Amino acid sequence: YDPGDEFKSPPTWKGNYKFQVAALAVFPGGIEPNNEQRSLAVYVHLLESRGSNAMDSLTLKIKLLNHKDPAKTITWTSVHAFDEMGQSWGCSTLIPLEDIKKGGLGWLNGKGKIVLRAAVLPSSVGGPNPREIRRRGRASNSASGSPEAVSESLAKRAKPQ
């Protein structure tokens, strides 16, 4: 990736919402530049909604698969409340790009590509925001249930350079 490169999945309807997943290569350290490390940022964009029973907030789960050791798969989870300004949300620093490029770490599949998966689910009303990043088998912040139990749609596969 070069800084600012963007790879998007095809738009997909999930219930009353039309989403698109975007993976970005950003420098330094995502949109929160507290270090000089180039990172992969992944966002889900709400393109449109329909129907009167559309929810105010949804749970988003993003996974970066580890092909060598599935226990090291990175999972990021958050609840997002939609408003006029908040039509996109995601993780600004999912993983350093240098880690992806190291073939022995398992982030690249047999074709030399990363595989991202995203899931959008109804959120529990009045519950806590389960902001979570699971890295290499460990969770940080509060856990929100088993990410393996979530049905996921395959996002576009992007090949780092």
CATH code for the domain in which residue 107 is found: 2.60.210.10
pLDDT > 90? residue 15: no
CA distance 134 to 130: 12
**Please, are residues 16 and 53 in contact by the beta-carbon 8 Å criterion?**
yes
Cα–Cα distances in angstroms (integers) from residue 82 to residues 3, 5, 92, in the given order: 28, 26, 18
Report the pLDDT value the prediction gives residue 70, as an integer from 0 to 100. Answer: 95
pLDDT digits (tens, 9 = 90+) for 80-98: 876 666 677 888 888 888 8
User: Averaged over 116-142, what is the pLDDT?
Assistant: 59
Report the pLDDT value the prediction gives residue 8, as an integer from 0 to 100. Answer: 82
Of 90-99, 126-135, 136-145, the range with the highest mean pLDDT is: 90-99
CA distance 115 to 101: 13
Q: Which residues is 63 bridged to in the sheet?
A: 75, 117
CA distance 60 to 46: 11
In a domain, 18, yes or no: yes
pLDDT digits (tens, 9 = 90+) for 24-51: 654 444 444 556 677 888 888 888 877 7
Q: Region of 72 please: left (phi>0), alpha (psi -120 to 50) or beta.
A: alpha
Report the pLDDT value the prediction gives residue 25, as an integer from 0 to 100. Answer: 57
pLDDT > 90? residue 11: no
CA 1 to chain CA mean position, Å: 17
Number of domains in the chain: 1
pLDDT digits (tens, 9 = 90+) for 54-70: 566 788 889 999 999 99
For residue 141, the enclosing domain spans 6-154
pLDDT > 70? residue 101: yes
Structure tokens given for 117? 């998966």
Where do the H-state alpha helices sit in 62-157? 97-101
In a domain, 160, yes or no: no
In a domain, 161, yes or no: no
Report the pLDDT value the prediction gives residue 82, as an integer from 0 to 100. Answer: 67
Report the pLDDT value the prediction gives residue 139, as an integer from 0 to 100. Answer: 42
Structure tokens given for 55? 């929810």
In a domain, 53, yes or no: yes
